[in-house]
């Protein structure tokens, strides 16, 4: 009988992508994937280190696993991702139930780790940074995890060192994969049924591959992907405002598959705080990027990430952030209370009052929600182009997204999965839209 593996993912889209690739690797060892946590031979937790709570969740999950398997054969327990990288040996010491910690640049070693553990070799630590070897190995695998909307990691790591962030320490220096590898992977995903390609990187717009003659940038890659038949939509995330170069902005003029939507985290609208965060741009620079892009595409929408209650943030600084939100009219955004991360420069700064942080989070979230709700309401009775991704579990309706990533629940047909269809919007809330496929009644009657 085949052995089974269970994988749980925390954190960003890059971790989701990695989990799919880890699954491909574990299958090489003869394991099959299970969704049943009560019956697994190998338990993998792909972790995130961005906030303190994310780390604590890992130990809670292992505690629960231990209870479940108290009277059964213990599964192999592998910890991957950014907590594994940041805490490595500490994790093995703190929790003896863990068999291996494997950092994001060492996933190519997973088949060997599992073989070693099956041969009863003691706890294993693989947390070296070897990004080239990692992608060399992963390129030999077929990416078998295509969905209608599929991710491709094109760039890893970060050289920006924002004062609050752990990513440069957990994912290492910036590294760009070769265009050929990426194009081949995109073609493979299309063969498996992908219609939308989302290019991923911690700093995706810092993508820069050195060829013999020159540099191949994100704008070049987008142009190449645009030519692949079968791809209907192209997106990329997450971008840093400092790397929104002219060539990339100009793609919005003539690359027809590039969606008029950009996630461009600003973090704060105050120049004083941006400087203290080491973000390397000003609010004026940020607003000028938005203006330039909306001049090219008036229907261009933006989403963002915000950190509230950063050390030194005064009422005036916070007001500047609210003002910037109103100026840009962001959609689909995320906001977080500043969380002190050990080892980062900001961890030495004086924190501000916790109650004030919480109050500001409520204010910013209600403003973002209000804008989103207003925008969603404006869509009622309009026709929206929606890429249908899947049928909702146990329901007759389908899930899709508009060009600006707004989720839509749609009455449609199974044949519509993978197609961009016209949807008549009938209702909305702050989370998304509801509607039906235009002419559905005629199709059903026919
Ligand atoms: N590279 C992206 C950028 O430059 O904006 C962000 C990547 S990070 C994985 C995602 C988001 O987590 C950030 O945009 C930031 O808002 C949030 N974040 C990172 N460190 C944080 C911290 N120490 N406390 C609170 N939020 C944090
Ligand atoms: Fe973190 Fe800043 Fe790098 Fe984004 S750019 S991953 S926030 S250090
Ligand atoms: Fe978390 Fe690592 Fe992503 S810290 S957000 S999983 S890069």
Task: Kindly give the confidence (pLDDT) of every residue in the chain, 446 residues in length, as a single tens digit, with 9 standing for 90 and above.
Answer: 689 999 999 999 999 999 999 999 999 889 999 999 999 999 999 999 999 888 888 999 999 999 999 999 999 999 999 999 998 888 999 999 999 999 999 999 999 999 888 887 666 677 776 766 766 666 666 656 668 999 999 999 999 999 999 999 999 999 999 999 999 999 999 999 999 999 999 999 999 999 888 899 999 999 999 999 999 999 999 999 999 999 999 999 999 999 999 999 999 999 999 999 999 999 999 999 999 999 999 999 999 999 999 999 999 999 999 999 999 999 989 999 999 999 999 999 999 999 999 999 999 999 999 999 999 999 999 999 999 999 998 788 999 999 999 999 999 999 999 999 999 999 998 889 999 999 877 777 66
248 in the same domain as 219: yes
| Residue 422 to residue 432: CA distance in whole angstroms | 16
Q: Kindly identify the ligand whose nearest atom is closest to the C-alpha of 336.
A: 1
Closest-lying ligand 2 atom to the alpha carbon of residue 279? 2
418 in the same domain as 300: no
| Rounded distance from Cα 429 to ligand 3 centre (Å) | 30
| Residue 321 to residue 316: CA distance in whole angstroms | 9
C-alpha distances in Å from residue 299, one per residue of 39, 294, 377? 49, 7, 16
302 in the same domain as 186: yes
240 in the same domain as 368: yes
248 in the same domain as 168: yes
| Rounded distance from Cα 166 to ligand 2 centre (Å) | 8
Range of the domain at 63: 3-128
Question: What CATH number did the domain enclosing 365 receive?
Answer: 3.80.30.20
64 in the same domain as 146: no
Q: Residue of the nearest CA to atom 1 in ligand 2?
A: 165
Pocket of ligand 2 (CB under 6 A): 158, 160-162, 165, 167-168, 202-203, 240
Residue 53: count of CB within 10 angstroms of its CB: 11
Q: Residue of the nearest CA to atom 3 in ligand 3?
A: 12
Q: Which residue has the tokens 């329901």?
A: 395
| Rounded distance from Cα 284 to ligand 2 centre (Å) | 20
Name the residue of 51, 167, 264, 279 whose CB sits within 8 Å of the most ligand 2 atoms, as the mutation to test its pocket. 167
Closest-lying ligand 1 atom to the alpha carbon of residue 12? 9
| Token digits of residue 210 | 């050195």
Contact 13, 21 (CB under 8 A): no
Question: What CATH number did the domain enclosing 441 receive?
Answer: 2.40.50.140
175 in the same domain as 153: yes
Among 128, 161, 183, give the residue marking a domain's end: 128
Among 128, 147, 176, give the residue marking a domain's end: 128
Closest-lying ligand 1 atom to the alpha carbon of residue 158? 1
Contact 149, 194 (CB under 8 A): yes
| Residue 352 to residue 355: CA distance in whole angstroms | 9
| Rounded distance from Cα 423 to ligand 3 centre (Å) | 35
| Rounded distance from Cα 165 to ligand 1 centre (Å) | 6
Cα–Cα nearest to 237, from 166, 333, 147, 164: 333
| Rounded distance from Cα 53 to ligand 3 centre (Å) | 13
356 in the same domain as 224: yes
Residue 107: count of CB within 10 angstroms of its CB: 24
How would you label 305-335 residue by residue, b for 16+ Cβ within 10 Å and e otherwise? ebbbbbbebeeebbebbbebbeebebbbbeb
What sign results for the dihedral spanned by CA atoms 309, 310, 313, 317? negative
| Residue 9 to residue 47: CA distance in whole angstroms | 6
Among 376, 409, 436, give the residue marking a domain's end: 376
- The tally of domains found in the chain comes to 3
Q: Is 54 in the pocket of ligand 1 (CB under 6 A)?
A: no
Query: Largest Cα–Cα distance of the chain, in whole Å?
Result: 68
| Residue 216 to residue 298: CA distance in whole angstroms | 28
179 in the same domain as 235: yes
Q: Kindly identify the ligand whose nearest atom is closest to the C-alpha of 339.
A: 1
DSSP line for 389-420: EEEPTTSS-EEEE-TT--EEEEE--GGGTTSE
171 phi and psi angles, rounded to 5 deg: -110, -5
Residue 217: count of CB within 10 angstroms of its CB: 20
423 in the same domain as 348: no
Q: Side by side, which strands form the sheet with 100-102?
A: 31-33, 3-9, 42-47, 76-81, 100-102, 124-126
361 in the same domain as 227: yes
105 in the same domain as 183: no
pTM value is 0.93
């Amino acid at each position: 009988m085949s052995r089974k593996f269970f994988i749980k993912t925390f954190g960003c889209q890059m971790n989701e992508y990695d989990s799919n690739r880890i699954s491909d690797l574990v299958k090489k060892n003869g394991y099959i994937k299970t969704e049943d946590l009560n019956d697994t031979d190998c338990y993998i937790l792909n972790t995130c280190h961005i906030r303190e709570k994310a780390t604590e969740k890992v130990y809670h999950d292992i505690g629960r696993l231990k209870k479940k398997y108290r009277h059964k054969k213990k599964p192999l327990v592998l910890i991957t991702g950014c907590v594994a990288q940041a805490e490595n040996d500490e994790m093995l010491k703190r929790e003896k139930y863990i068999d291996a910690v494997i950092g994001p640049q060492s996933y190519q070693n997973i088949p060997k780790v599992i073989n070693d553990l099956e041969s009863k070799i003691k706890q294993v630590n693989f947390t070296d940074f070897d990004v080239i070897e990692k992608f060399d190995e992963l390129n030999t695998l077929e990416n078998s995890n295509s969905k209608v909307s599929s991710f491709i990691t094109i760039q890893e790591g970060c050289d920006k060192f924002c004062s609050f962030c752990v990513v440069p320490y957990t994912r290492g220096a910036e590294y760009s994969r070769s265009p050929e590898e990426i194009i081949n992977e995109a073609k493979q995903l299309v063969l498996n049924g992908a219609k939308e390609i989302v290019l991923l990187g911690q700093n995706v717009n810092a993508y820069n591959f050195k060829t013999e003659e020159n540099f191949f940038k994100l704008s070049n890659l987008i142009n190449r992907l645009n030519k692949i038949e079968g791809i209907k939509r192209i997106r990329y995330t997450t971008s840093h405002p400092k790397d929104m170069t002219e060539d990339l902005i100009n793609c919005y003029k003539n690359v027809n598959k590039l969606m008029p939507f950009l996630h461009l985290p600003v973090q704060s609208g105050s120049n004083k705080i941006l400087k203290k965060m080491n973000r390397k741009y000003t609010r004026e620079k940020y607003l000028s990027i938005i203006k330039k892009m909306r001049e090219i595409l008036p229907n261009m929408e933006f989403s963002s990430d915000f950190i509230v209650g950063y050390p030194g943030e005064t009422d005036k600084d916070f007001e500047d952030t609210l003002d910037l939100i109103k100026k840009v009219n962001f959609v689909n955004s995320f906001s977080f209370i500043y969380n002190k991360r050990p080892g980062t420069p900001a961890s030495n700064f004086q924190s501000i009052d916790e109650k004030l942080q919480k109050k500001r989070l409520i204010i910013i979230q209600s403003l973002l929600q209000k804008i989103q709700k207003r925008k969603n309401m404006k869509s009622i009775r309009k026709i929206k182009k929606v890429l249908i991704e899947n049928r909702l579990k146990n329901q007759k309706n389908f899930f899709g997204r508009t060009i600006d990533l707004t989720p839509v629940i749609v009455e449609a047909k199974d044949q519509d999965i993978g197609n961009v269809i016209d949807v008549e919007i009938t209702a909305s809330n702050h989370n998304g839209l509801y509607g039906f496929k235009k002419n559905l009644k005629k199709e059903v009657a026919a």
